[in-house]
Amino acid sequence: MLSWFDANEVQQMAERLAEEFGRVYPATEIGKENKQSQVRRERATQVLFAQTKQFAAKAGLNIYKKARFGQTFQQALVSRGYDVEFVRTLTKEVLFYLR
């Protein structure tokens, strides 16, 4: 029963994914409309979605762990300087892959 609430692994993964996303597509790139920035964003999101989907398949996440993942992911991106609205939108998309 206690393992149902143990979200340490989930939170660590959310942090790692946010960090990796930030390396490929830094917060300073938001709002730039050049092709290079768009390519970096697309690459970063595709890798993020693939890794999230892979993690979800092996982790067997319950609703509590999914919520903790989303919360940790959001906080990690905001702390890295991303716009709150951008983070909310991206987190919603990422949570889709946790199903």
| Beta carbons within 8 Å of 62's beta carbon, 6+ residues apart | 4
Q: How many domains does the chain have?
A: 1
| Beta carbons within 8 Å of 38's beta carbon, 6+ residues apart | none
Helix (H), strand (E) at residue 24:
helix 8-24
Residue 1 has pLDDT above 70, yes or no: no
* Residue-level pLDDT at 4: 84
* Residue-level pLDDT at 32: 84
pTM value is 0.92
* Residue-level pLDDT at 33: 80
* Residue-level pLDDT at 9: 95
**Domain limits for position 8:** 2-96
* Residue-level pLDDT at 17: 98
Tens of pLDDT, residue by residue over 13-54, are: 999 999 999 999 999 998 888 999 999 999 999 999 999 999
* Residue-level pLDDT at 31: 85
What distances in angstroms separate CA 89 from CA 45, 82, 85, 92, one per listed residue?
Answer: 12, 11, 6, 5
Phi/psi at 47 (5° precision):
-65, -45
Average pLDDT for the chain: 94
